[in-house]
């Protein structure tokens, strides 16, 4: 099939590779424009942009698709289908209508639950036991299109957003490959989403990332793993006399009682409003991630200290 691929981050790359590997003709790749990044703030091409160039594919990086000029350029590609995976730009109706077989989107939730920008993080933060990766026919609504294919994913108690992201991007690439194979045979069906159970996965706000140990331990644990590694749940600790921000990357639920935020033992167990969490992996500003025992040796925190 003649395909235009639209994606930006690492999450999108395996799907692009799968489509190329299946022998489809990728006539163009759309990705967000290069952004300043790194210490030198030099402009850096997106992971999809870099992967497409290695494959010898033409890459377009418009900042918007709203202009008639960009829409005409898109229509002129004359494609069967557009595959969209975490592209990050709004697709106007003129773009959605241009491919002969429409636009297929890979979405990381069990629609209609968690429509929107941050479905992976929100599912974990809410304590969901399962989620899904789905291929959806796009329409003008926010993740409201008919669902073509779906694979359910169990969310383990220790799974972080990064863990789920990595699993989902591999499974999603395979799912989109199967969807395109079915589409090429004119055998790709779809079903409307249920009207009940709609929730929205709004973009993560920085104000959500500071941990409040007065909340129940299960909620604290879910926020830690749901925001790991980015933007990262954090607390302030006094380490050798200096107040420092520390990211909490992994934790587990354990028994324990005490005033919220109190360090209960030398194994980095912290009391919550109900129960306790044991911190497993932490990261100080400017340092790499480290296991709790290594962190504790360097921080020399005392039992009974309060972390906020």
* Annotated binding residues for (6S)-5,6,7,8-tetrahydrofolate: 109-112
Burial class (CB in 10 A: 0-12, 13-18, 19+), 187: exposed
Burial class (CB in 10 A: 0-12, 13-18, 19+), 274: middle
Residue ranges of the annotated binding site are 109-112
For residue 143, give the nearest of 172, 175, 116 by alpha carbon.
116
Instruction: Give the CA-trace dihedral at 82, 84, 90, 92, to 10 degrees.
Output: 20
Residues 6+ apart with CB under 8 A from 203: 116, 117, 118
Taking the C-alpha atoms of residue 32 and residue 284, their distance in angstroms, rounded to an integer, is 31
CB count in 10 Å sphere of residue 273: 15
Taking the C-alpha atoms of residue 224 and residue 272, their distance in angstroms, rounded to an integer, is 13
* Pairing mode of beta strands 130-137, 103-107: antiparallel
């Amino acid at each position: 099939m003649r395909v235009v691929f639209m994606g930006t981050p690492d999450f999108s790359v395996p799907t692009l590779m799968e489509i190329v590997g299946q022998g489809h003709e990728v006539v163009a790749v759309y990705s967000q424009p290069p952004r300043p990044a790194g210490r030198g703030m030099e402009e850096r091409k997106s992971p999809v942009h870099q992967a497409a160039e290695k494959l010898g594919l033409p890459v377009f990086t418009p900042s918007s698709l709203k202009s008639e000029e960009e829409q005409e350029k898109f229509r002129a590609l004359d494609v069967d289908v557009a595959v969209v995976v975490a592209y990050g730009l709004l697709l106007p109706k003129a773009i959605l209508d241009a491919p002969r077989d429409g636009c297929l989107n890979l979405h990381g939730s069990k629609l209609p639950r968690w429509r929107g920008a941050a479905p992976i993080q929100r599912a974990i933060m809410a304590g969901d036991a399962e989620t899904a990766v789905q291929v959806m026919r796009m329409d003008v609504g926010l993740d409201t299109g008919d669902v073509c294919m779906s694979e359910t994913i169990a969310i383990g108690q220790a799974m972080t957003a990064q863990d789920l992201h990595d699993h989902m991007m591999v499974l999603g690439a395979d799912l989109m490959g199967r969807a395109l194979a079915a589409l090429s045979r004119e055998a790709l069906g779809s079903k409307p989403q249920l009207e009940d159970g709609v929730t929205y996965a709004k973009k993560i706000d920085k104000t959500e990332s500071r941990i409040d140990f007065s909340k129940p331990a299960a909620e604290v644990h879910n926020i830690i793993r749901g925001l790991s590694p980015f933007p990262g749940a954090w607390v302030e600790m006094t380490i050798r006399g200096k107040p420092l921000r520390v990211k909490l990357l992994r934790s587990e639920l354990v028994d324990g009682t005490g005033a919220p935020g109190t360090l209960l033992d030398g194994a980095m167990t912290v009391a919550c409003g109900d129960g306790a969490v044991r911190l497993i992996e932490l990261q100080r500003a400017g340092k790499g991630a480290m296991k709790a025992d290594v962190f504790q040796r360097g921080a020399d925190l005392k039992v009974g200290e309060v972390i906020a």
